[in-house]
Structures are given as structure tokens and as C-alpha cells.
Structure 1
Amino acid sequence: MWGSLWPLLLSLLTATAVPGPSSRRPSRELDAIPRMTIPYEELSGTRHFKGRVQNYSTLLLEEDSGKLLVGARGALFSLNAEDIGDGTHKEIRWEASPEMQNKCHQKGKNNQTECFNHVRFLQRLNATHLYTCGTHAFQPLCAAIDSEAFTLPATFEEGKEKCPYDPARGFTGLIIDGGLYTATRYEFRSIPDIRRSRHPHSLRTEEAPMHWLNDAEFVFSVLVRESEASPVGDDDKVYYFFTERAAEEGSGSFAQSRSSHRVARVARVCKGDLGGKKILQKKWTSFLKARLICHIPQYETLRGVCHLDAGTSAHTRFYAAFTLTTQWKTLEASAICRYDLAEVQAVFSGPYMEYQDGVRRWSRYDGGVPEPRPGSCITDSLRSRGYNSSRDLPSMVLDFVKLHPLMARPLIPTRGRSLLLKHSVRYTHLTGIPVTTPSGHTYDLLFLGTADGWIHKAVVLGSGMHIIEETQVLREPQSVENLVISPTQHSLYIGTPSGVIQLPLSSCYRYRSCYDCILARDPYCGWDPSICGCVVTTTLANRCQMSRTALIQDIERGNRGCEGSRDTAPPPPLKTRSVLRGDDVLLPCDQPSNLARALWLLNGSMGLNDGQGGYRVGVDGLLVTDTQPEHSGNYGCYAEENGLRTLLALYSLTVRPVTPAPAPQAPAAPGSQLTPDVRLLYVLAIAALGGLCLILASSLLYMACLRGGPRGRRRKYSLGRAGRTGGSAVQLQTVSGQCPGEEDEGDDGEGPGGLEAPPPPPPAELTNGLVALPSRLRRMNGNSYMLLRQSDNGVAAGPCSFAEELSRILEKRKHTQLVEQLDESSV
């Protein structure tokens, strides 16, 4: 039922999306389908690490030392980034004592999940030490760890103002120039806060007369060094992404329940903020926040954020993953949106919102704005006017900041639209990396983790995204909790509840031809004509002296460049199939790409359409029903994708007529070809036998007369045929014939004694090609049927069970209407 509602829902999502350009794409184009599907059984090149603990959710990659540091429940690990499963790891056991766990349990917390030491923070503190914090059974602790010895110190620091109590609470943290910037709920049952600690000037957000944060759950934070090459002497800024309860007007249909309506936000603070001198003492003077909108404002929940830059802050962009859940709470989708830093800066330079006590709501502030502009960082212009730090700002500016933390204009995605909309998927984390191709173009490559253990690899193309592949990295469904990319190791590290997985950033070896390589549109993969192979572009320059521009790629269109390339992929072998007239035959052909359309040609020119002429075109084969002589010929299976056609399979099908067995001939008259002497001997022998029969008949007549009377006349003796002799003609049995050994009530072809003569099995060439099929589930446009098991020599394992079962199924499927394309749920 829900499958039929999805087109309507997607239309609703598109119709109610945020304002943007008038030329919007249809919703079906936003719901991108991964081109390749790699199940867990087909993974290659992956490495795994699993200790004796759980929840490997905190990852820190140090490229210089080649280490991947992992924080888990009750332990920390130092892994070899080149191969996390090589067994050379170091481990620190850091568990809460039994006494601490008992106290936690007495507070009403779960002693199976919460009353442990969950490591939530792990970052580089200085050249010699790491800094880590853990929940420690709802009594947070922090510690500085010697990175070389990888051991815990003798003493710990109080962590109640640096780390959350609850392991499930949203948290984000950074160490910037020795200062600790964290955002979460710190104390037990406290309000959310953005704080700076381990710094000469500790700061936090304001709580009175209004809370700057309203039940916030933090997702991500990042430092953007906007001071580098700034013409105005700007300051570096820290950006925070979170969700919180909405308070402003404009909640639409949720106006009556704004207390439960949550919205996505982005906030910023200046790194050089020192707080106010009299007003906003030890509080941020540069805190501002704005609404974050992706696709459907009323249904969005922020799940993950990553940032990318090309070396300068001017090119910084953010990618955010949202979950779109309707009020029915049964239809779920995910959306990906992009936000450029220039657009973020423009929102924070726009008008403010103001809370009006009379009507108890937020509305746009249209009054005068004091100078210097409230919430701005200290620049060269302000320094020239005597404002060298936030402590020098006037009281009226600080009062304005205190009452106007919210911006009036929301932050909408770049080009006013989402990049991707994916139904029935919940993204939990994302990360990305800019990849420069041999042609000099740079593309953003994203890796998206799902709630059921899959990784979607996608490239950003203009105003959309192309999902290159989806990979099942976990056999059992588990949530992807963290993702980290290593360009040096060409690896993606995945943190999950059960362990850490190392996955190659690309698998170009899967593409066997030039067209297959460019159809993937993977920035890491290019076709090398010199070796006729699809290679990783980042390693080719180090291995070969050839020009990188000689590689063939077409990321934008995905279908050009291979016209003059020599493709060494051999053509598929020609397979022969022979079938009796009137029977059904299946010609298998698997489509390697989820985006390809199956095309069947007869004798190289005639296209076959589903449902016409006895043809059924499925996602992995062609079913020819009620075969006739005109069905004989050469069949070619092609994959049509993005304007290209690739040959996948070739078959030669022969339909043979059903030939009746020759009628039995009457035996020749005895003696017709004998010599006269031999003929005389036969006549004498027949005469002697006739006389003997006459004597025997007379004796029987005499005995009958002796036993005359009523009793003797009750029983009659007759000499007749003991039975009917079966004919010599035998019908060949096919997949639609009667099973040998079963009775056929309407058949007179019984053998002696009334038993049916079992016909011999059909010849090997009349098996409809089914002997070549594997004994596994075959799909025809999403409608499945199961082939029965076959023995090694191709004969049915049970007496006629294969022929009888397949006959019944194929007969039933003659009248089954199949859809044109594969249902995505079966991909």
C-alpha cells in the first residue's frame, strides 16, 4: 500500500519545497537510484577491527603518524591506518568501576547501555598528548594521554563541563589553539550550552532573560579560518549545526504545536571573542543563529553535516543530511543539501528577529541597529576605531546581542533546491572529499552512511547527485555512527556499534570495459588505453610517466570518450538452446547496472517488446512462451544506459516441430518368400497341427457333455484376448507433458495388463536451456519464481518434479502482467 503512495508523497515533497528557481526537476529525478549494488558477500579489499568492547563511535585520524585512534565503550585503541586489522594495535582499558556503575543504576539509568564509560571526545591536544573525555557512568571524566606510550595518566580531570552525562545525548567538540570548544548538555538534566574551556577566557551562552538555545541537540561543529587572506582582517569562526524546538512565527500548520516542532539551525561564534566587560561577562558576544532549511521545513530533522574546502575559506561549503518524516510517521525519506559559506555569511549579515512580550512570539525586527554591528567579529575597521576586542564594545551593542540572537532570514540550500531525495533510506552520517580529475576539474565526492549498515558513494554534479554505488558493509543491520576519509591510505573508515571497517575509496577494478568505466562517473576511476583497464587516477601518476590527461573520463555526461578506444573485453560466448514447439524457454541475462534497461534484439535488428509475440522481458532474462518456428533465431541481450548500448549475452534458439512416431507396420504373410520345398514342409506341419487341434476340440466337447446338467451349465468358458496390446508409438515428454508413472484417464495407450508404458525422457538438446540455469531465485521484473533443484547431469532430481512444477509455473506466468522496470525495493 505504501509503495503506491510514494509517487503522491514525492509530489507533495516537491510541491511544498523551499522557494527556488521556477524550473524544478520532477521528484522522480531527485530520488536517485544507486548505479551499482555491492552486497556484503561481494566485498573485497575491506579490513575489520573488533575488540572486546562495543560502540566504536569516536574516530580520530592522524595522517602524519599513520594512526587511526578509536574511542569505544570502556576502551581506546590506536590502529595502523594502513591496515586496521593487522594485529599491531594498542589498547587502553578505561572502564567505570563497579561502584560507579551501581550508583548510576540507582539513579534510574540502564545498567546494560548507559552505566558505562562511553568515550565521546578524542582529539590532539599538543605535540605529545591526546585529550579524551568519557561519560563514566554519568560522572564524566577527562584525561590527557601520552600519544607515544598510549597509556592513561595517574590523575583525571573533572568532565562535567566538557562532556555530556548521557551517552545518547548529541555532542560535538573541537580543540582550537589549546582551547576546548564543546556543545552539549553538560550537567545532569541541564539546559544545552556552547562552551569554551581550558582557555584563559572561558565563555558560554546566555540563559537570561531568554535562552539562546532551546532544547538543542548538537550534530556537528567546525572551525573556518576566515582570517586567512582576509582583506578586512576578519576573525576565524566556529560554526555549530544542531536541531532545537522552534520558537519563531511562521511554523505554518504547526503553529498550534510549536513546542514540539523542531527545526535545524546553524550558529557561529568568533574565535577571538573574550566576552563583555560589564554586560555578557563570560558570555559570547558574537553568538548568532539562523534557521537551516533543506527541502520540507515542517518535516526535517538534521542528521549529519560535513564541510569541504579547496584550500581557502572562500570556497568552503557544507553538506547536510536530513530525515524527512511525515505526520503519518510511516513514510520516511532523506535529503542532502549544500550550503556555501558566502550564503551563510550573508544570512548573518541580514536582519534580526525580536521576541515580543505582548504577543509572546518572535517576529522580524525592523528598528535601528547600533554600531558596531551586533554579533560581528573584530576587524581592522573596528580596531581603527578603538575596538580592539569584544570587551571594548558599547553596552548598547551587547544589550542588543543579548536580546537578538536569531536571524530573520533562513539559510536555504545553494540554487534553492536539495541535491538528492532518497525515500526509504535514513542517512545517519556523511563525509566528503574534493577529488581533482586528470582534466583538472574538481568534484565533491560524498560518502553517506545509513541506519541499516550501507554506504552510498555519490558525486555532486551541478544541481544534483549521482550515486555511484551502494555497499553493504555490515552483514547484520547496524547504524553507521562515524565516517572518516584518509586520502593518503585511499581508505574510508567506518565506525559502527560492533567494530571499525576500512573500505577502499574506489573499486575501479570492477569495471571491465571502457564504457563501463565511464558510465560509473567515479572521479577516482579512469580508463587507461595503454593497459586497457580502469585504474585509480590518484595512483596512476605515481606509477607511470604517461600524461594523466590520456585517461578517459566523462564525469559530467558519463557516456563519451570511448569511441576510439580499443576495448579488450571479449564478446560473450554464443549459447545454443533447442526447444520443442509450444514449450516455454528462459534466456537468462543479468543487468550489472541498476540504471540500465534490458534490450533484446532478434537476429541483430528486431527489437522485442514485453507482452508481444509471446515475449516476456524481465530484469534478468527473456521468457519466450508457446514457442513457434518464427521464434527461432539469434537473440542478443543488451544493456542500454545513458545512451550507450552494451552486449551482455548471445543465444541461438531453435524451435523444433513435434514429430509423431511412425505407425506400426503389418507383418508380412508367412511363407510368402519361401522356396517350394520349405513351403511344402510348412503346409504339412500346419495340417498336422490342425488335426491335433481337431482331436483336442472333440475331447473337450465330450467332457462338456459328460458334465451336463444345471450345475455344469452355470459356468461359461470363452477364449478371448487376455488384454489389449499397446501401440508402439511413444510421445516425447516436454516441460508441459504428463508426468510418467501417473494415470491418464483419457489415454488408451496402456501396456499389457492395463499398465501405462512409461515414455523415455527427452533428449538432452530438448531441455529448453534450463540445465544451464543455476538453482537459485530468478526475478522477472520483481515477480519471482523458484527453479527446482537439478542434479549435476542436468536431469531433474525427482521423477518429473522439475518438469511438472516448471510447467505449472510457466503456464501461470503466461498471463501475468509485468512492470517495465525493476522495483527499487528488490535492487
Structure 2
Amino acid sequence: MRTPRAPPPRPAPLLLLLLLGEANGLFPEEPPPLSVAPRDYLNHYPVFVGSGPGRLTPAEGTDDLNIQRVLRVNRTLFIGDRDNLYRVELEPSTTTELRYQRKLTWRSNPSDINVCRMKGKQEGECRNFVKVLLLRDESTLFVCGSNAFNPVCANYSMDTLQPLGDNISGMARCPYDPKHANVALFSEGMLFTATVTDFLAIDAVIYRSLGDRPTLRTVKHDSKWFKEPYFVHAVEWGSHIYFFFREIAMEFNYLEKPRARFLALKVVVSRVARVCKNDVGGSPRVLEKQWTSFLKARLNCSVPGDSHFYFNVLQAVTGVVSLEGRPVVLAVFSTPSNSIPGSAVCAFDMTQVAAVFEGRFREQKSPESIWTPVPEDQVPRPRPGCCAAPGMQYNASSAFPDEILNFVKTHPLMDEAVPSLGHGPWIVRTLMRHRLTRVAVDVGAGPWGNHTVVFLGSEVGTVLKFLIWPNASTAGATGPSVFLEEFETYRADRCGRSSSGEAGRRLLSLELDTASGGLLAAFPRCVVRVPVARCQQYSGCMKNCIGSQDPYCGWAPDGSCIFLSPGTRGTFEQDVSGASTSGLGDCTGEPGERPRGRHARPGTDLAHLLSYGGTDRTAPPVP
């Protein structure tokens, strides 16, 4: 059974009706969080502001940070800044200040700066902003900087930050303008990047370089391949690299008759594209030095109903995680900036993503035609976009017949959209002041590592924490998610107040640091490490601790609410399902008071209450 093609977005008046709940009451309710963390907790969280060994503040006379990228490798954090790269040790996790142990200063040379200024750029733009920061192998960092609009890349020792070899060109590997989005990853020694290749940022490209295979790129200046893309993320899965991005949808443009009026709807849609890792390009006649396997499809994140409500603007995507045995990515979407504000989280099974690329192609036969599916009998064989390999009819992509290569060149778009798991968002938040733009997921939360918690970061650093039930049918009336907590991550006292406006406190990344039980929130001028839970705020009140439904928190016999890291041993209780807190008092008695008859299991050192499918059962003890 084929997944229905996602129709074009609805006009704003209908969106408003949906948001107001007038579409047969199908729009989901949005309950408030079970807990809001007090702001004074924030003052105790460690922060990096450029401080080095032996000093609590940045060296006098240095610029404010302008962080672009962060990369965590085990217990070490690398921070790519403007003109600098920092190495920060994350241990001990109890430290009140994050300081760098090594610092690499990597400035643009005067000639590059002069050329940049001559081309009309401001002095502040003609610096070296670190835009690519990757682990190339177990001891080498691969770093690219914008270098005053003349991008350059280099290898550095992970331990000493000393250069390894000579610099290489950053063209097609790193954007010229630090404001432009880009993604990059290494696979099998090859660098896959998605960025722009020119000073004017009009040539968007997915590019493969380095390694032992030929350099490849997407077709240049072809709106069927790309139309003003904004690259968000890339993942490796199976024999392909998948790129997630948003762009202007060309499939809504056509010449309308009888008025001969060109109908061009500038609609942003979210996409996933893929390429074969072993692609070697086409023949000398068609797609030479270009991808023969590039295909793209729309991502469908919408609230179902008589009229679907679409979240079309992709903001962030996780890596591939395992949920209920499925390879899944979670993605954050929002509505357009000129629409009603709203954000949603949808999950996509990578096997379903791959299945869409085996489905029908979509085409526009003439400028006045609407886009329609390509009949199967008109699709050449072997299937366009497949990965050639030894032992197959064609052992390399360069051996494909011109008929196949021409079809791929003119038909990169799939007809069907990738459906979200459950055919709807797992989380929806509308009419918020700030969009949700970042996501981190913990698929091993709690003492047994059997719960999934999703952290969503807003533009200004407010984090929303949700408990997710991947199999929504087991959650009963609670739905697929529970809004556990809301807390702040931006430390205005250390990271700067409102002098630079909201842009100065824009959340750049949100990464889980499981070893310390924390989140690393990066902003332009600082990195803040915050805990994934604030269990101590419930100490002395069993009802609040149990009622928090937080997999990270448990009630201890001494009347405290304690943090439960994976493998925690000892006596504690929790009720992650939130089945009931009746009989637990109202928190007006003595601190730590425990009502009788609730969750009592004499003779065991683990009294842990969980719920699966609405039925309470005790989880097995930790080995």
C-alpha cells in the first residue's frame, strides 16, 4: 500500500481554524509542563566563556566569543570560534567553570582580509569563522574556516591542536559567509559536505571529496535539484548518505492556462536526499563528475484531519537512534515566520525513508503542466538512482546507459512523501513566543536505560523536556509524549545580557552528555552545561518526586529525590507512567514522610514502579 502524496500547504485562514480547534476537534491539546525549574538553579551551572588555565575570565583585551561549532569526543569538548579553536576537558563533571586546556589561534592573513574588504564586506565579516569541525580519525581533527570569504581547511592533532600537513582549499567544503548553513561528515575516509561553492552563495552543492573515490557534486544551477536550500543535517545509514534540508518547492510552479500566467508559489518544504557512498559519477556524456544516485523526497510532518496542518520548515534532526528496534531520526519542524507560530517533532523510520526512494518518480512534462507521477513502464531499468556494485549488471555508475543517467538528471524528485511514524507529530507546541530549533534525544534514560526522553531547545535557550512512548498504543490516554519539564539554559550573568538582542543568545546546538548526566547548550558567546534533571527540587515531598514522572528521578528512603543514572543501585521508587499519586499525601507533613501502604515491597532493595500498557509491574533489578 503506497503512502498518499502530501498535498500542498493550506492557506493561513484555515491554519488559524485548525489551531483554534475548529477542525472537528482534531488538533491535539497542549498541556503545560509537569514542572518548571526555578531560575536560580541556572546560577550554579558550569559555563565556558573563553577562560583558560588559571583564570576565571577571558584574557584582557580579547574579543567576545563568536562560537560557530562544537564537537564532543568522549570527555573532551572542541569549540570552534571566530579565529580560535578551544580544547576543553569535561572532567571533573562537578567543576563550576569550564576552561580550555589548549587553544589554537587561526586568523586570516592580511591579504585575504584586504581582498574581502575590497569586495564590499565589513571588517567583522572578514575573519576566520570555524564552520566545519569533524573527527577525521581517532587522533585527527578536520577543521574548515570561512577565512575572510576564502574558505580553507586543515588537519590538526586532537591532543595538541598542532597542524598536520598543509592547508587545502575549503571551496565546496565550507561556506564563504559564516551566516550560511552547512553540514559535513566523514564516511569511509571520504568527506561529504552540503554547502555553497561561491562568494555570492548561488551555487548550492552536495559534494564528496578526499578519500579514494572521484570528487563528485550535484548538477549546477538546476532548480529541479536544488532551489535555495538550507542544509540542516546529514547521517550515514547503510550504503547511503542522507541529507536533510529545506528548500523552495518547484513542484507547485507551472504555467496556468488560458491566461498563460506563470503560477509560482514560493512554498518552503522539508526534504531528505540521498546519494550512494560508492557512486563514481556518470559517463563522459551525461553526469560526468556528478552524482548518478542523487534523489530527494519530501518529509511529511503534519497533524492529520479533514484538512492537514503542515509543519514545513525543518529546523533540526537527530542522528539515527534505535527506538523499539527501529532505526529512527527525530526532526523538529516549525511553521513559516509569516504564519501562525508553531513547532512540532516528528519521527521517521529510516526503512520507510529508504522505501520512498524505491517508489514512484515525479515529473513536470511541460511548463504548463502540473507535476504528476511517472508511469512505471516509462522508468528505465535498472532503476535510476540505485547503487552500482561488482556482481550487478553494471559494476560502476559510470557504466550506466545514457538513458538511465538522463532520467536521473531530469527526475531527482520522488512522488511520495516520507510518512512520519504514527502519521502525525509526537510533540506539538503552537502559539509560543519562540520557535523550537534544536533537539537532543536520550534513548537510554533512567536506571534501567529503558525510557526515551527528548529535549527541545527554543531559539533563546529555553528547553522543553518530554517523555516519549515510541509505541503510542502503550501510552493509552496520555498520547505519545508527556511534557515533563521546562527550564532555562542561557546564563545572562556570564554569557551577556540584552546588548546584542535575541541574536546574541541564539541557541546554536544542544547535545546530550550522558557521562555527566548533562546537556551542553552552545550560544554565540558561551557554552553552558546543565543537568538533564533537577530532582533535588522535589526532596522532602514524595508526591512531587513520584508525580514528576521523570525517569531520571527516584524517591529514596531518606526522604530525598535523587538522580538515577543508568545502573543506579540502591532503594528508590518512581512511577514513570504517572498512573496515580493518590495516597501520597499533599506535601504538608514532615519532609520525607512516607504514607503507609504505597509501593511497599518488603524484602527487596529495589521498589520501582513502572507502567507498560496501562498495567503496573515492577521492573527487574539492576544486575
Alignment of 1:465-484 (within 5 A): 465-474=481-490, 475=492, 476=497, 477=502, 478-484=505-511
- RMSD over aligned Cα, in angstroms? 3.2
Structure 1 distance, partners of 2:31, 2:580, is: 22
Alignment correspondent of 1:458: 466
1:118 is the counterpart of 2:129: yes
Q: CA deviation at 1:74?
A: 1.3
How is 1:373-388 mapped onto 2 (pairs within 5 angstroms)?
373-378=383-388, 384-388=391-395
Per the alignment, residue 576 of structure 1 pairs with: none
Higher helix share: 1
SS in 2 for 1:54: coil
Report if aligned partners of 2:445, 2:453 keep a CA contact under 8 Å in 1: no
Pairwise mapping of residues 317-716 of structure 1 onto structure 2 (< 5 A)? 317-325=328-336, 327=338, 329=339, 331-359=340-368, 361-368=370-377, 369-378=379-388, 384-422=391-429, 423-424=431-432, 425-438=434-447, 442-461=450-469, 462=472, 463-474=479-490, 475=492, 476=497, 477=502, 478-512=505-539, 513-528=541-556, 530-538=557-565, 541-542=567-568, 544=569, 546=570, 551-556=572-577, 558-560=578-580, 570-571=589-590
- Could you tell me which amino acid in structure 2 is paired with residue 552 of structure 1? E
Cα distance between partner residues in 1 of 2:409 and 2:14: 45
> Cα deviation per residue 1:183-237 (whole Å; 9 max; x = unaligned)?
011221231110001123211112377641111110111112x3xxxxxxxxx22
- List runs of 5+ in structure 1 lacking aligned partners: 1-5, 18-22, 227-235, 573-827
- 3-state secondary structure, aligned to 1:346: helix
Structure 1 residues 298-307 or 331-340, which shifts more? 298-307
1:299 and 1:316, CA in 2 relative to 1: closer, same or farther beyond 3 A? closer
Aligned mate of 1:258, from 239, 264, 288: 264
- Structure 1 equivalent of residue 186 of structure 2: 175
Question: Residues 416, 250 of structure 1: CA spacing in aligned structure 2 closer, same or farther, 3 A cutoff?
Answer: farther
1:269 and 1:416, CA in 2 relative to 1: closer, same or farther beyond 3 A? same
* Residue 106 (structure 1) aligned with residue 125 (structure 2): no
Within the candidate set 72, 83, 92, 1:61 is matched to 72
AA in 1 matched with 2:380: P
Instruction: Tell me whether 314-323 or 151-160 shows the greater mean CA deviation.
Output: 151-160
One-letter amino acid of the counterpart of residue 350, structure 2? L
8 A Cα contact 1:104 1:115, kept in partner: yes
In structure 2, the partner of 1:240 is 243
Larger radius of gyration: 1
Structure 2 counterpart of 1:305: 317
**Conserved in 2, the CA contact under 8 Å of 1:532 and 1:568?**
no
Higher relative CO (CA 8 A, sep ≥ 6), structure 1 or 2?
2
- For 1:471, what is the secondary structure of its paired residue? strand
How far apart are residue 568 of structure 1 and its match? 8.9
Q: Letter of the aligned partner of 1:337 in structure 2? A: C
Identity fraction in percent: 30
- Could you tell me how far 1:141 is from its partner in structure 2? 0.9
Query: Are 1:269 and 2:290 matched, yes or no?
Result: no
SS in structure 1 opposite 2:280?
coil
Post-superposition shift, 1:10? 5.5
2:228 to 201, 215, 230: 215
Q: Say whether the 8 Å CA contact 1:263–1:297 is kept in structure 2.
A: no
Task: Write the letter of the residue equivalent to 2:270.
Answer: A
Cα distance in structure 1, aligned partners of 2:186 and 2:271 = 22
Instruction: Read off the aligned partner of 2:84 and give its amino acid letter.
Output: A
2:139 paired with 1:128:
yes
State the partner residue of 1:696. Answer: none
CA-to-aligned-CA distance 1:17-36 (integer Å, 9 cap, x gap): 9xxxxx97444x1x342332
Q: Contact (CA 8 Å) 1:532, 1:566: kept in 2 or not?
A: no
State whether residues 296 and 412 of structure 2, in contact with CA within 8 Å, keep that contact through their aligned partners in structure 1. Answer: yes
1:233-267 deviation digits (Å, cap 9, x = unpaired) = xxx2211111111111399x9x9763522211111
Q: Distance in 2 between matches of 1:123 and 1:439?
A: 32
Query: CA 1:273 to 1:25, structure 2 compared with 1: closer, same or farther past 3 Å?
Result: same
What is the one-letter code of the residue matched to 2:321? D
- Deviation track 1:746-783 (CA, whole Å, cap 9, x = no partner) reads xxxxxxxxxxxxxxxxxxxxxxxxxxxxxxxxxxxxxx
SS in 1 for 2:529: strand
The separation in 1 between residues aligned to 2:582 and 2:554, in whole angstroms, is 11
Q: How many residues align?
A: 530
Question: Is the contact between residue 374 and residue 401 of structure 1 (CA under 8 Å) also seen in structure 2?
Answer: yes
Alignment TM-score, normalising by the size of structure 2: 0.77
How much has 1:11 moved relative to structure 2? 3.9
Of 62, 76, 79, the residue aligned with 2:85 is 76
Q: Secondary structure at the match of 1:292?
A: strand
Structure 2 residue identity aligned to 1:560? S
Q: Does structure 2 retain, via aligned residues, the 8 Å contact 1:445–1:458? A: yes
Which deviates the most, 358-367 or 428-437?
358-367
Q: Secondary structure at the match of 1:286?
A: coil
Letter in 1 for 2:507: V
Q: Shift of the alpha carbon at 1:493?
A: 0.8
2:207 maps to 1:198: no
Deviation at 1:535, TM superposition (A): 2.3
Query: 2:453 touches 2:467 (CA, 8 Å); kept in 1?
Result: yes
**Alpha-carbon distance in 1 for matches of 2:41, 2:395:** 61
Q: Tell me if the contact between 1:438 and 1:551 (Cα under 8 Å) persists in the aligned partners.
A: no
Change (3 A) 1:310 1:567: farther
| CA positional deviation for 1:61 | 0.7
Task: For 2:164 and 2:509, locate their aligned partners in 1 and report how far apart those are by CA, in whole Å.
Answer: 27
Residues 525 and 536, structure 1, Cα contact 8 Å, conserved in 2: yes
C-alpha distance in structure 2 between counterparts of 1:180 and 1:166, whole Å: 20
